[in-house]
Amino acid sequence: MPRWNLIRTAWTLAVLATLAAWVGCGSGGRETIEVQGVVTLDGQPLADAGVMFSGPEGGSPVATRTDASGAFTVRAVPGSSQVAVSKTETSGGAPPQDDGTMPADGGKVQVKALVPAKYADFRTSGLTVDVASGMEPVRLELTSK
């Protein structure tokens, strides 16, 4: 596997593990509804982006990732949810060693946001979805400006 792919895989796994720990158990046993949608950035599908729903009453957020066409599916608690979307790219650093550990002199890894930072925070994204039974798929249309 080329060096860049190893670094990207390692960072993707680290981000997903952190996200899973942060999200916790999701809805906490409350009723959930399947929400389907598509995320675009400047009119183009946003592949491999993290999509997080923060439900009403401060419940635990739930998260998913978009596919190659920008589509996602998530189960969320009914009501008004704030939504955050993020996507990053990493560069630099050394690949993991054969035993899976990172070398001590691995160099600095740089992380670049591929969508404006405002969308990664529930409080600033401006994205809300009214989750209800029988709802149509949602379109989350982001702009880079």
- Which segments within 66-145 are labelled E, that is strand? 71-76, 79-86, 88-92, 109-113, 127-131, 138-142
- Residue 105's pLDDT is what? 66
In the block, residue with structure tokens 């409350």? 30
Pick one of 1.10.10.60, 3.90.1150.10, 3.40.50.1820, 2.60.40.1120 as the CATH number of 3-25+32-142.
2.60.40.1120
What totals of helices (H) and strands (E) does the chain contain, helices first?
2, 10
**Under-70 pLDDT residues of the chain:** 1-29, 58, 104-107
How far is residue 45's CA from residue 115's CA, in Å, rounded to a whole number? Answer: 12
- At 49-58, the pLDDT tens digits run 999 999 887 6
Predicted TM-score of the model (pTM)? 0.72
- Residue 94's pLDDT is what? 72
- Residue 85's pLDDT is what? 98
